[in-house]
């Protein structure tokens, strides 16, 4: 059980800056994100694209912005709980009790939901009754490539993830790449590389094919694929990897009893509190008249939500507004040495 002042749901740019705003006023935060990496949309959807409207930074990529935001919160030594999705919330005296899908429990007087467009989840195979193989023989991401060493691996998908893993795993495994179209969607370089590996006999490519069935009791005994004319072929595989992109789901947060407006959470713009005391929503996931889905708007929202969290986390203390330039106490929290 982890006790903290604020649980931040979402490690996108807005969640990260909220951690900073909490940190400078002396509040401790823990951050949970369903993804295996920090940065939200900036890292998952456009790591190398330049952004031109972050105040004071004429140009930076999604990756660079994430790096700078992490650098800025370094003094607070924040714990990140990645690959974890928040599931349930219940009231426990003055606190919220939040559980994750990995059965971790957080106790906090405040929750800041910075969940963006929802948790990113892999689009799965449409095939029936194959859940029993998930995370045993069927995977939608690769945590440790050595798991597949010297095995027969069948990779489905036509985008960069499918191509990159086909290239990488071809060095240590027997790879068959299956895609429902003849053309791949990946970068020119990756497509060329995959075709070269095929020529050299280092991988097999099956197009235009898609999954038909996956058979087996505990492990996969056989998989079949079908082409556009429903012609069936059998493939031998120990493991199956599917890379069909990500879908965004509001997921369990939709069951928390919060007011919802389609997939967003209405908030009070004075403090970005939802209809539940101590639960705040900031960034892309919140809505209010005039809301702009921009990173800079999320930064402002996080600053106000953080101050509201202070009142609930430190009910006996008075919050004092201070500038970072002149506040001795903020500088101490940031680990900056002063001469006064």
Ligand X SMILES: Cc1cc2nc3c(=O)[nH]c(=O)nc-3n(C[C@H](O)[C@H](O)[C@H](O)COP(=O)(O)OP(=O)(O)OC[C@H]3O[C@@H](n4cnc5c(N)ncnc54)[C@H](O)[C@@H]3O)c2cc1C
CB of 40: closest distance to ligand X in angstroms?
2
39 vs 49: CA distance, rounded Å = 14
Q: Which stretch binds ligand X (CB under 6 A): 102-110, 199-207, 292-300, 324-332?
A: 292-300
- Going 146 to 82 to 101 to 288, the CA torsion angle's sign is negative
Output the DSSP codes for 47-93: TTSEE--BTTBS-EEHHHHHHHHHHHHGGG--EEETT--EEEEEEET
| 278 makes contact with ligand X (CB under 6 A) | no
Q: Which stretch binds ligand X (CB under 6 A): 208-216, 227-235, 260-268, 295-303?
A: 295-303
Q: What is the per-residue binding string for ligand X in 161-190, x denoting contact by CB under 6 A? A: ------------------------------
Token pair recorded at residue 111 = 């929750």
| 258 makes contact with ligand X (CB under 6 A) | no
Nearer Cβ to ligand X (13/242): 13
| 154 makes contact with ligand X (CB under 6 A) | no
235 with 226: CB under 8 angstroms?
Answer: no
Tell whether omega for the bond before 104 is within 30 degrees of 0, i.e. cis.
Answer: no
Q: Which stretch binds ligand X (CB under 6 A): 9-17, 151-159, 176-184, 260-268?
A: 9-17
Question: Among residues 7, 9, 211, 281, which is the contact residue for ligand X, using CB under 6 A?
Answer: 9
Q: How large is the angle between the packed helices 13-24 and 62-73, nearest 10 degrees?
A: 20
Q: Radius of gyration of the chain from Cα atoms?
A: 23
| 11 makes contact with ligand X (CB under 6 A) | yes
The size of the chain, in residues, is 340
| 15 makes contact with ligand X (CB under 6 A) | yes
Question: Among residues 20, 30, 96, 118, which is the contact residue for ligand X, using CB under 6 A?
Answer: 118
- State the residues that interact with ligand X by CB under 6 A: 9-15, 32-35, 40-42, 45-46, 51, 53, 85-86, 114-120, 251-253, 283-284, 293-296, 298
């Amino acid at each position: 059980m982890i006790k903290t002042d604020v649980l931040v749901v979402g490690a996108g740019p807005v969640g990260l800056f909220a951690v900073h705003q909490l940190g400078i006023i002396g509040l401790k935060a823990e951050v949970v994100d369903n993804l295996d990496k920090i940065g939200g949309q900036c890292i998952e959807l456009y790591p190398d694209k330049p952004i031109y409207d972050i105040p004071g930074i004429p140009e930076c990529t999604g990756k660079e912005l994430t790096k700078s935001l992490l650098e800025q919160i370094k003094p607070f030594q924040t714990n990140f709980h990645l690959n974890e999705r928040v599931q349930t919330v219940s009231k426990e005296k003055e606190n919220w009790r939040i559980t994750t899908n990995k059965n971790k429990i957080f106790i906090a007087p405040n929750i800041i939901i910075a969940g963006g467009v929802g948790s990113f989840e892999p689009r799965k195979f449409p095939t029936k009754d194959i859940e029993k193989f998930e995370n045993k023989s069927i995977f939608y991401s690769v945590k440790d490539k050595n798991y597949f060493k010297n095995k027969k691996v069948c990779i489905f998908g036509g985008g960069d993830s499918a191509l990159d893993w086909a290239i990488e795993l071809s060095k240590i495994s027997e790879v068959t790449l299956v895609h429902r179209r003849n053309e791949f969607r990946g970068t020119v370089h990756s497509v060329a590389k995959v075709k070269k590996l095929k020529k050299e006999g280092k991988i097999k490519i099956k197009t235009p094919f898609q999954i038909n069935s996956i058979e087996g009791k505990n492990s996969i005994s056989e998989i079949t694929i079908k082409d556009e004319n429903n012609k069936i072929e059998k493939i031998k595989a120990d493991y199956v990897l599917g890379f069909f992109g990500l879908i965004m789901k509001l997921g369990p947060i939709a069951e928390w009893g919060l007011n919802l407006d389609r997939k967003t959470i209405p908030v009070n713009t004075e403090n970005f509190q939802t209809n539940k005391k101590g639960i705040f929503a900031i960034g892309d996931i919140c809505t209010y008249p005039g809301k702009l889905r921009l990173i800079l708007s999320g930064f402002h929202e996080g600053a106000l939500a953080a101050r509201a969290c202070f009142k609930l986390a430190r009910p006996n203390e008075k919050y004092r507004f201070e500038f970072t330039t002149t506040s001795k106490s903020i500088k101490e929290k940031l680990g900056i040495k002063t001469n006064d």
